[in-house]
């Protein structure tokens, strides 16, 4: 089950696009925008990530750190970051353990095919490590403005 507002955010440590380990607990004291996306370099995920990139100054002004999480390996997310000049941490959750802990690893269906994948969901985590907001089924083009409105 996904954490709800007021719940402690499950801690994790994942590798970013540069191979560096990033831990949620290491970001205590800052607001964290943790967004789960299905696959790097697909149209919706690109629109969402570029929206974060284009609002970088707004997130910084709100003293918020943005982390994107997908089941992609480190190399594909590194290429995704380079291709679009994203410049914020993209985390590799290949075994989808973090997505499962956040309740966003779900059964999906497309073109008559059923498979498991990340649901496009964003969690705003307060400086104390508790979930403040949850945005499910976020539209990629509206993601940045929606989240910034909650900060």
Known catalytic residues are 45
| Tokens read off for 141 | 């083009």
Rounded distance between C-alpha atoms, residue 40 and residue 74, angstroms: 10
Quote the CA–CA distance of 50 and 86 in Å, as a whole number: 7
Strands 105-110 and 31-36: unpaired
**Residue 60, C-beta contacts closer than 8 angstroms, at least 6 positions apart:** none
């Amino acid at each position: 089950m996904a954490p709800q507002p007021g719940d402690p955010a499950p801690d994790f440590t994942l590798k970013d696009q540069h191979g560096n380990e990033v831990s949620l607990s290491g970001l205590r004291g800052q607001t964290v925008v943790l967004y789960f996306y299905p696959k790097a370099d697909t149209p919706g995920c690109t629109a969402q990530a570029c929206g974060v990139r284009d609002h970088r100054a707004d997130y910084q002004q709100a003293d918020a750190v943005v982390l994107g999480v997908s089941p992609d390996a480190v190399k594909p997310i590194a290429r995704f970051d380079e291709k679009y000049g994203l410049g914020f941490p993209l985390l590799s959750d290949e075994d989808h353990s973090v997505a499962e802990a956040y309740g966003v690893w779900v059964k999906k269906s497309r073109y008559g095919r059923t498979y498991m994948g990340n649901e496009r969901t964003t969690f705003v985590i307060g400086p104390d490590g508790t979930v403040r907001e949850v945005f499910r089924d976020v539209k990629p083009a509206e993601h940045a403005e929606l989240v910034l409105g909650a900060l």
